[in-house]
């Protein structure tokens, strides 16, 4: 089948890489011809992560390119769309572009992007999703929203390529609390600073950040740049991974990639009890949940003080990820959700 993927980013954008691009070999093995047409380039992603603003002319050009891609999409038999065709475009315009797309039209959501819109403008998603062939989402929270417009919904968790993590060695000897992310999500970590200061008065540790720059007086912080080639080596240096979140609608829509990566590296994690963090921590038995600053201090202190416990939890976490959050464990479900198993 000839398939068009309308992703938001190229391989440097985490959402597009994990939800779409890493499955490309599986589609090709199935005999499908896939053309990937990202809305934004890798250069845009690099500027975004560096905190640099992109000019309006660039955004205009990329929007024009996406429009043209839609206008000539009739040569494809199926289209799979990441989120929306053009962010913040009015409902009537998105609906107009849909008329040029193949009748087999699928969507994928790994964020609750509708919360970026005022309530009255969320009608855009009702208009575009109600006659879609099917919708793939990363968790139950996202499913509950789209099911109101279209019952053909499948939950496929965000996954990792297990082959990249297969040789990771689980170690419990590192007093490093680690966080991986982007400058856009650094605020979650910054809000945890008071708890980390209290913790450091009880036990010494290094706070390792991958993907963003940050310093805080009283904390021993080491910031590292992110790269696709080096991310697993960086993660493997962590003793404990953390995933703090706010308990708000946007955060409830997140798909827990940090936890999955920590667990795949055999790293126990402490996370806020928000969204998929709760089932992932409980089902894997590879982490702890923390609501208040006191919770964070106690849970992190216990893990820092007990290397043997960290190793035990890390091994359980790896076992869970291999069985539940890898490309191989989810490919058949994804193909079924996209109605491709019989093609």
Tell me the per-residue pLDDT of 211-237, one tens digit each, with 9 for 90 and over.
999 999 999 999 999 998 999 999 999
**Residues linked to residue 208 through DSSP beta bridges, in sequence order:** 178, 222
Q: How many CB atoms lie within 10 A of CB 320?
A: 18
Minimum mean pLDDT range among 52-61, 220-229, 249-258, 265-274: 52-61
Set out the domains of the chain in order of their start, with CATH numbers. 2-159+327-337 (3.40.50.2000), 162-324 (3.40.50.2000)
Q: What are phi and psi of 51, to 5 degrees?
A: 80, 20
Give CA–CA dist 158/138, Å, rounded: 6
What is the pLDDT at residue 342? 59
Closest CA to 293 of 285, 283, 301, 304: 301
What is the pLDDT at residue 190? 97
The pairing of beta strand 221-224 with beta strand 33-36: unpaired
Q: How many CB atoms lie within 10 A of CB 278?
A: 14
Q: Give the model's confidence band at 54: pLDDT under 50 very low, under 70 low, under 90 confident, else very high.
A: confident
DSSP for 184-248, written as a single string: GGHHHHHTTHHHHHHHHHHS--EEEEESS----TTS-EEEE---TTTHHHHHTT-SEEEE---SS
Model confidence, pTM: 0.94
């Amino acid at each position: 089948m000839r398939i068009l993927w309308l992703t938001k980013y190229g391989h440097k954008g985490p959402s597009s890489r994990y939800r779409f691009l890493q499955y490309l070999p599986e589609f090709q093995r199935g005999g499908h011809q896939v053309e990937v047409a990202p809305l934004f380039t890798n250069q845009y992603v690099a500027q975004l992560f560096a905190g640099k603003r992109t000019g309006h002319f660039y955004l205009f050009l990329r929007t024009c390119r996406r429009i043209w891609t839609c206008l000539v999409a009739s040569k494809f038999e199926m289209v799979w769309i990441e989120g929306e065709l053009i962010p913040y475009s009015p409902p009537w315009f998105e609906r107009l572009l849909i008329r040029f797309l193949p009748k087999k039209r699928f969507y994928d959501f790994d964020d609750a992007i509708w919360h970026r819109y005022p309530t009255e403008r969320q009608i855009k998603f009702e208009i575009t999703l109600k006659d879609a062939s099917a919708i793939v989402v990363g968790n139950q929270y996202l499913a509950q929203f789209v099911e109101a417009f279209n019952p053909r919904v499948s939950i496929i968790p965000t996954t990792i390529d297990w082959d990249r993590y297969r040789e990771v060695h689980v170690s419990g000897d590192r007093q490093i609390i680690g966080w991986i992310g982007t400058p856009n999500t650094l605020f979650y970590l910054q809000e945890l600073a008071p708890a980390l200061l209290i913790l450091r008065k009880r036990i010494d540790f290094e706070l390792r950040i991958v993907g963003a720059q940050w310093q805080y007086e009283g904390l021993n912080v080491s910031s590292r740049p992110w790269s696709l080639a080096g991310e697993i080596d960086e993660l493997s240096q962590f003793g404990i991974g953390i995933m703090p979140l706010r308990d708000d609608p946007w955060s409830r829509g997140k798909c827990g990639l940090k936890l999955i990566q920590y667990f795949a590296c055999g790293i126990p994690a402490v996370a806020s009890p928000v969204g998929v963090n709760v089932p992932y921590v409980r089902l894997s038995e590879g982490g702890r949940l923390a609501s208040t600053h006191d919770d964070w201090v106690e849970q992190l202190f216990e893990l820092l003080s007990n290397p043997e416990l960290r190793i035990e939890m890390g091994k359980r976490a790896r076992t869970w990820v291999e069985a539940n959050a890898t490309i191989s464990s989810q490919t058949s479900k994804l193909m079924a959700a996209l109605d491709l198993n019989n093609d």
